Amino acid sequence: MPRRVAILISGSGSNMVSLIKAMAGDPDITPVLVISNRASATGLDRAAELGVPTLTIDHANFANDRLAHEVAIQSALDEHRVDFICLAGFMRILSPGFIKKWPGKILNIHPSLLPKFKGLHTHERALAAGETYHGCSVHVVTASLDDGPILGQARCRIEPEDTPQSLAARVLPLEHKLYPAVLARFIRGDSSPVFLDG
């Protein structure tokens, strides 16, 4: 029986697309739901085009009540009998209570070589710090921000002429390769890290 995966997004969903396309050729895993916390997320249309059910649970409709928002998300996950969750540009911090319900079953991709540059503006911060390499990491989500066990990393060399925009443009294709590779192994119980060079 294939493991059932939900993908949570907030924007264009480019990593979501790479995950869905990779799962299409894998008999052991299937995407069953894409949830966005923003009705304007263009990734919803892209998911629908790929044949995956979509749902908007807009946090703006919950009057800043994070718990109520997460209850609605949990209800949708239960309804679709989800086994694993992939965060793909989901711009909401999940509460410890929500995460506790999914121990070791939520993955996230972050645009830095963790543990460096947790949080936002990673490309700018990598350049400001004079880093030689930059990249992305897939990790298990825990209650601490960007702090769970690392399951994979992909890196590229920072060039002297790089800007935050050019660096982001080179890291994104690495994300699209790394996330599906990690998920395919993780879903089969293999937590050994994947390392890619770009």
Tokens of 166: 């050019």
Find the catalytic residue in 59, 69, 110, 123: 110
Separation CA 104–CA 124 (nearest Å)? 30
Which residue's entry shows tokens 């192994």? 185
Provide Rg for the chain, Cα atoms.
16
Separation CA 145–CA 121 (nearest Å)? 14
* CB of 114 closer than 8 Å to CB of 152: no
Report CA 123 to chain centroid distance, whole Å.
17
Q: Which residues pair with 9 in a beta bridge?
A: 36
Known catalytic residue at 69: no
Give catalytic residues, as residue numbers: 110
